[in-house]
Amino acid sequence: MEHFETKLTVIGTGMTGMAATLFAANRGIDTVLVGSTSEIMFASGFIDLLGVHPIHERKSWKNPWQGIAEVRRDIPNHPYARMDETDIRTAFDQALSFLKDAGLPYLRRNEQNCRAVTSLGTLKSTYCIPHTMWAGVEALEEKSPCLLVDFRGLKGFSARQIAAVLQHEWPNLRTVRISFPEMEHMEEVYTEALARNLSMEHNRVKLAEVIRPHVKGSVYVGLPAILGISSSYEVACDISDKIGAKVFEIPTMPPSVPGLRLKEAFEEQFPLRGVRPFFQKQVLNVHNGPGGEFKLDIGGDTTEFGVKTDGIIMASGRFLGGGLRADRHQIRETIFGLPVTQPSDRRLWHRRSFLDSRGHPVNRCGLEIDDEFRPLDKSGHPAYPNLFAAGSVLAHQDWMRMKCGSGLAIATAYKAVKAYSQMNERPVGP
């Protein structure tokens, strides 16, 4: 069994864990990352900051920063309420700079949410949008003539359905269904295979030849999110040039190509930044050392590596990520056995109506933290001096209904890393 020593270990490889690892690497902190990478595959590519508050009023915010100010006032234990706006802005700046350098540029209007089309034909308010999807934001605002394209054999994406849902909002929509070149005889095609196919220029030529006759007077062309993996912006520009119209992507049902792009960008860049990743592994056991450090057993079914670490950031997620687990009696935290804030009785987890506008109490369960993002024990004190938590495992937030999932992940990851750094890193120089 191999043994390693490190300053910081991040547990979890969803958006929160990836962001925490990035921020630690930016600070020059020796970091180990542990976890499976399946959760980030469900990302749509959009990065929300805040869209809705209060939930029961379904009040949407054009300016997400004003919404966050209201959250601070109304929910003082919400994770956003424990952060300065400057920290949230810095977190976004660093995350977007990384993605741009990794070949995944994002666009935003700093003080404003934008509306984008989803695969269901609904409109989603979000903060940051991949460059490959930005032309769709502009096309929607302009109500310009637009052609929506889908492919025979591609499940869960219908150009006709999108146009039907949007017919009153965007009347200048036309649709066409085509066969993907050289896949005409396949009963089912998959987004990842199409995206990797389009990484080769000669395949883009073939696709453009099929689409071009249908463009006619359309200024924009919307496609499912299949425009390459690592070079999606270049692929989108190339196809736009070849068909004579501005191309944009629409996210597909998860797991999605935009999620795969994020996954591969982080996985490829982290080793170059000195991070030691243990992908597709998990923390099997945690032991406390005599000096306050942690000793972790890491592996699959059995221990393969031992890691001695000064600090830990828990980015283990909720039920999907495995950070929380529910049985017939209560919700448990799976790594340290920390207390979980939750309704006193399981019968109170959910409201009578599934679509209750207030949401369900179980959606706000999670870990209590102090202002340094350290999880608290039953007595209300930090469970460990050097244990921090971030992301959806935190209590008092309903990220799905508040439309703040990725923003919460990025912002709280930054805060947790900053808190660790301030507590443990000695200043350089006099």
For the chain, helix, strand, coil in percent to 5 are 35, 25, 40
Q: What kind of architecture, by CATH, is found in domain 119-250?
A: 3-Layer(aba) Sandwich (3.40)
Poorest-confidence range of 12-21, 128-137, 287-296, 415-424?
A: 287-296
- Helix or strand run (H / E) with residue 92: helix 85-101
Question: Alpha-carbon distance 201 to 195, whole Å?
Answer: 12
What predicted TM-score, i.e. pTM, was given to this entire model? 0.94
- CA 256 vs. chain centroid, Å, equals 12
> Nearest-CA neighbor of 316 among 6, 79, 9, 16?
16
pLDDT digits (tens, 9 = 90+) for 361-393: 888 999 999 999 999 999 999 999 999 999 999
Determine if the peptide bond prior to 54 is cis (ω within 30°). Answer: yes
- Work out the average pLDDT over 1-26: 95
Fold of domain 2-103+260-424: FAD/NAD(P)-binding domain (3.50.50)
Q: Do the bridges between strand 106-108 and strand 173-178 make them parallel or antiparallel, or are there none, so unpaired?
A: unpaired
pLDDT-derived band at 348, boundaries 50, 70, 90: confident
- d(Cα 205, Cα 242) in Å, to the nearest integer? 7
Distance of CA 355 to the CA centre of its chain: 24
Q: From 151, 193, 149, select the one nearest 174 (Cα to Cα).
A: 149
CB hemisphere CA count around 218 (13 angstroms): 28
Identify the three-state secondary structure at position 110: coil
How sure is the predictor about 84, in pLDDT bands with cuts at 50, 70 and 90?
very high
Instruction: Tell me the pairing of strands 282-288 and 294-299.
Output: antiparallel
Mean pLDDT of 287-303: 88
Domain ranges of the chain: 2-103+260-424, 119-250
